[in-house]
Amino acid sequence: MTPTAILLVHCSDQKGLVASVTTFLATHQANILDLDQHVDTSMNMFFMRVSWDLRGFALNEADFRSRFNSEIAHPHQMTWDLYFDAEPPRFAVFVSSLPHCLVDLLGQFHLQIPVVISNHADLGDIARRFDVPFHHILVSAQNKPHAEAEQLDILKSHGVEAVVLARYMQIVSPEFIDHFPNKIINIHHSFLPAFPGAKPYHSAYHRGVKIIGATSHFVTAELDAGPIIEQDVVRVDHRDEIDDLVRKGRELEKRVLSRAIWAYSERRILCYGNKTVVF
């Protein structure tokens, strides 16, 4: 694997931003592997992702951080993140009783998944098949603060960066979300904003839609309303009963969630307002 740095930047749009960043990199012998930028004209915001080969790059991480901040980021009031020869993210996976997304993620052996947490015991067997620690933590209206504190302890002890809700049938509290801002990835089994909340396949069936969808999004305090990362659809018709929607939805949920996690892992997502740029 090539040692690589990834820099994510956003700020108000101004003349010369790409030139400033790329000239800084060129001055220090960066060999750019990939560069993508975007201007949201309606918000006048500038977004950029650039990755470069660290072989031959003249700055170490500390020097880069210090000099990039003072010479480029601070003058342009940029918000920025740097991944400098970084480890891949460590994801905790939260599940309830449905195995398909969990198996799909655990079967992607390149993903770092140090722990699985569930409010049901059912999927413990699957986690064990993949040698991943499984914690069964009951969640109820009464014990939620306590249960979430326990979850947070486990996440901390496993060095978890981000949380994947892989058909986790519980609403996460705003306090919990505050510990992982834009770092909790949910898969919702509808084409949001259609059919938020419970039983979207039932709703889709009763509405008589001809296409069903799935949506992966960051979790925010408002249910199923956070920034959308990825969506996809599959065609249905009158022959499809609710069970068929569930079956077709399984493969759809797997692939939409999987793509969102890939984009997150590659550090391709920038959030702003309630939207995402996915480079």
Residues contributing to the site for its own copies (CB under 8 A) = 15-16, 18-19, 22-23, 25-26, 29-42, 47, 99-100, 103-104, 107-109, 129-130, 191-195, 207-211, 213, 227-233, 235, 237-239, 241, 247, 251, 254-255, 258-259, 262, 273-278
DSSP per-residue letters across 238-251: TT--HHHHHHHHHH
Our CB check for its own copies shows the closer of 146 and 210 to be: 210
Nearer to its own copies, 25 or 177 (CB): 25
Q: Which residues pair with 232 in a beta bridge?
A: 214
- Within the chain, residue ranges assigned H as helices are 17-27, 61-68, 100-106, 124-129, 144-157, 174-179, 200-207, 242-265
Distance CA 140, CA 152 (A): 16
User: What's the closest the beta carbon of residue 119 comes to its own copies, in angstroms?
Assistant: 21
Q: What are phi and psi of 258, to 5 degrees?
A: -65, -40
Cβ closer to its own copies: 91 or 205?
Answer: 205
Q: Does 237 qualify as catalytic in the annotation?
A: no
Minimum distance of its own copies from residue 193's CB (angstroms): 5
Helices (H) and strands (E) in the chain, counts: 8, 13
Residue 40 or 150: the one with the smaller Cβ distance to its own copies is 40
How far, in Å, CA of 276 to CA of 268, rounded? 10
Distance (Å, whole) CA 5 – CA 77: 21
DSSP 60-77: -HHHHHHHHIIIIITTTT
Q: How far is the CB of 32 from its own copies (least distance, A)?
A: 7
DSSP label of 210:
S
Of 36, 224, 232, 243, the active-site residue reads 224
CA distances (Å), origin 163, targets 7, 69, 72, 128, 263: 22, 29, 32, 19, 14
Cα 218 to Cα 194: distance, rounded to the nearest angstrom? 17
Catalytic residue IDs: 224
